Chains A and B, each alone.
Chain A
């Protein structure tokens, strides 16, 4: 039995107001969920309208275009249709289950996830740029995979290392693998930025799903989802879509999926498979495997079932080692090591630089508007997304909380001793894959309802990240 889910047979509500039964609270949550769904669909339309107004007011002879880009427009169009379909679905099945009569039916949960996806797709597409990133290592790698080899041999704009006459990319392989279907159609013309944008939007929808599996109200779920999508540097990583950003975005996606499964049905094979995929997007996620084992054990309390996790983890290991043996005739990825030109990749000495980046690194200050500017070195987590402090709220005596906290720490650990701090970056790029764990801790600590402290901290984070994204769009780094 999960510690954070009330027992189904009980009618008592341990977390709700006194006198309200669990059934009544579930009814209320369902009604709130439908309201939230409608809200997110309407928000998509509002974003479209706002984008239209802004582009129209900014049009000039040099830039006559004033219609929102096709992603914003598509999201708005689909949202407009979904409002009616979701309403019809709600009326035909007020309990939120799938009745089977209506052709486009989804559960309340499904509709709300769709609504979150569309709202954030419109938002990211409206605040981002759809021009292809010049740093498209994953696209080039995907094309090379399709041609049956691993080396890149691309232009100098891409970080790569030379080994035995061939040049190899240094990023983990999963993003390139995911892009292969698109590369098969469009070759090197695949727009990596759009891939990032869509994958980042899926991340927010996955975060919404994950939060739905924790015992928090719909209102708190909305606050945390907004924080995750707009109050963290994930927003910038998603719309930037460079080689380094996509690696993070993909790693987060699979981490969220793995955690969502861990707090859902907790099928060991699937959890391990998703966690394995996450580690193939960011190697730092490999050491987190034991945390997933612990989480699944806490949910299922059955040692035997845990053996089903072995294939997923083994798959990640085999792909990782196979790829490296083919490239470097060595089990481990030595790409970064070659790039470091003799300097050790990990040292205790680097801790201070990395820790400083994570906790203390400030924005720049000068006498030019807007006076405070994001710097290429990054911006400390404490100063960009202060709402993460709420991750300290839940009791770490609870084994589930302790495991999730451990997951966050382990996933950060390698970056804390790494040669490079992550620059050029907005925020602290190297620690983004720990965000899903921190998000869960925040949700655990909230006690169903988002209180005033939560709302203020999330609002401050959103303002800080919005300022940073606005600055980057207007002037780049300060």
Chain B
């Protein structure tokens, strides 16, 4: 890895945070009605302002072989990872929406009080009612992550801000993940920016509501699992992250065999592979325990209880509708400005992140791309057969958790350098997603 370009990339990412914060600050002053920058935006600006000179010093010291003497010692790679975190913390914090539906906060409060039923407010919508108790419909990993925050701020916890923090950490993990592949720094920068700003992961992160939060948490743990898989490939840690990802979005369980297989493919012995089992058992026990406590069932009955009354919640009959959502669903055409508006029902992948077409560059005769494609297909399958396509949404929310697998395929297909088509497609993706985020901020779903 070219260390000079890595240092430059770090400086660039630190630098991004400052104008983003300044723009938000100026806008809120100028518009008067706009919110001032939130606390995370301030942190991002401080990180940016401090990180820029400190990384410069570290670079100079690294040149003189004295970097290890610094109190704030980090490698070029470490600085760059921190810079990516800072840049995306700034982006997500300054574009974050107001906190909305916060089922996960309510669930976290419930956990802290030692029960599983939640307190349903007037705006909490969607819950399974069993007798006098209301139960959340979404997987429990999100609330578990929120528990420390809820222990301090209780119901006042801003779920959207925690989502922003998780999103920024995810982006640092995405940057780390791309290091595992034979990419130039330039290629890594482009792919990281694509993942963080050219996919609806951006929108889901800054929305941070009941439905987005599980997606964001699932992406975090999937990226961590992939980092470990393509790094040291320790079965226990791959198992831990992968299992936690399943605990955030159940669909991820269908991708778990891929992790197991790739661990073996990467040279782990069958005996070592057994270390993947304990984390899954732990998560499985938690899963069954919560469901037993709530629904007297091994499985989560939430969707079954609240889904269609006279039809199953999952079935082949829903496939056409969901395929249409993934591949064809367009924005709407309106008479008033800005004429083309995101549809409440969502947008297909091709019309929010066309750069995903680059996944087909990865050689499908090789094992890793095949396995990543299998993982993506497997984790998408329940959503493809689900009665609901994910609305209200921008993009196709139900498939965000498979984006890390697609990112790996894009990285493998990129072969170090990045060509013109990739750059154009990434820029178009960023424009489309930022348009959606801007539109939602201005007009919501109208």
Contact = CB atoms under 8 A, between A and B. Distances in A.
A456 interface: yes
Contacts of A392: 420-421, 424-425
B326 to A, nearest CB: 12
Contact of A457 (B351, B360, B363): B360
Interface string B337-368: 00110000000101100100110110110000
B409 to A, nearest CB: 11
A365 B389 CA distance: 13
B421 A386 contact: no
Contact of A356 (B327, B333, B354, B360): B333
B421 A445 contact: yes
B320 interface: yes
A453 B331 contact: no
Contact of B420 (A371, A383, A389, A393): A393
Nearest to A391: B421
Interface string A41-70: 000000000000000000000000000000
Given A372-B320, A451-B361, A389 B425 contact: yes
Given A392-B420, A395-B420, A380 B321 contact: no
Interface string B286-327: 000000000000000000000000000000000011011001
Contact of B331 (A360, A383, A396): A360
Interface residues of B, number: 28
Contacts of B323: 372
Interface string A267-288: 0000000000000000000000
Contacts of A353: 333
Contacts of B328: 362-363, 365, 372, 383
Contact of B421 (A362, A371, A382, A393): A393
Contacts of A382: 350-351, 354
Contacts of B324: 362, 365, 371-372
Nearest to B357: A389
B342 to A, nearest CB: 11
A373 B420 CA distance: 34
Nearest to B323: A372
Interface in B139-158: none
A393 B340 contact: no
Contact of B339 (A352, A380, A445): A352
Contacts of B172: none
Nearest to A392: B421
Contacts of A380: 330
Contacts of B229: none
Interface in A133-158: none
A392 B421 CA distance: 5
Contacts of B351: 359-360, 382
Given A361-B330, A365-B321, A371-B320, A389 B361 contact: no
A10 interface: no
A354 B201 CA distance: 30
Contact of A453 (B327, B333, B360): B360
A359 B432 CA distance: 12
Interface in A355-413: 355-356, 359-363, 365, 371-372, 380, 382-383, 386, 389-390, 392-396
A352 B350 contact: no
B333 A352 contact: yes
A456 B350 CA distance: 15
Among A360, A372, A386, the one with the most B-chain Cβ atoms within 10 Å of its Cβ is A360
Interface string B397-422: 00000000000000001000001110
A392 B355 CA distance: 12
B329 interface: yes
A144 B283 CA distance: 81
A452 interface: yes
Nearest to A382: B350
Contacts of A383: 327-328, 348, 350
A362 B360 contact: no
A352 B340 contact: yes
Nearest to A349: B339
A388 to B, nearest CB: 11
Contacts of A445: 421
B357 A386 contact: yes
Contacts of A453: 357-358, 360-361, 413
Nearest to B413: A453
B354 A389 contact: yes
B357 A360 contact: no
Nearest to B350: A382
A452 B354 contact: no
A390 B363 CA distance: 17
A394 B358 CA distance: 15
A457 B364 contact: no
B318 to A, nearest CB: 11
Contacts of A394: 420
Nearest to A456: B360
Nearest to A370: B320
Interface in B72-102: none
A457 B419 CA distance: 18
Contact of B340 (A356, A372, A457): A356
A380 B424 CA distance: 19
Contacts of B361: 451-453
A389 B356 CA distance: 12
A353 B424 CA distance: 24
Contacts of B421: 389-390, 392-393, 445
Interface in B346-398: 348, 350-351, 354, 357-358, 360-361, 363-364
Contacts of A457: 357, 360
Contacts of B333: 352-353, 356, 360
A151 B425 CA distance: 49
A146 B156 CA distance: 84
A355 B321 CA distance: 25
Nearest to A351: B339
Nearest to B320: A371
A196 B420 CA distance: 38
A371 B425 CA distance: 30
Nearest to B328: A362
Contacts of B327: 383
A395 B417 CA distance: 14
Contacts of A395: 420
Interface string A342-353: 000000000011
Given A356-B333, A365-B321, A382-B354, A393 B419 contact: yes
B90 to A, nearest CB: 30
22 contacts: A352-B339, A355-B340, A356-B339, A359-B351, A360-B340, A361-B330, A362-B329, A362-B330, A363-B328, A371-B324, A382-B351, A383-B348, A383-B350, A389-B354, A389-B357, A390-B421, A392-B420, A445-B421, A451-B361, A453-B413, A457-B357, A457-B360
Given A363-B328, A389-B357, A452-B360, 17 more contacts: A360-B331, A360-B333, A360-B351, A362-B329, A362-B348, A365-B324, A380-B330, A383-B348, A386-B357, A389-B425, A392-B424, A393-B420, A395-B420, A396-B420, A452-B364, A453-B413, A456-B360
Interface of B: 320-321, 323-324, 327-331, 333, 339-340, 348, 350-351, 354, 357-358, 360-361, 363-364, 413, 419-421, 424-425
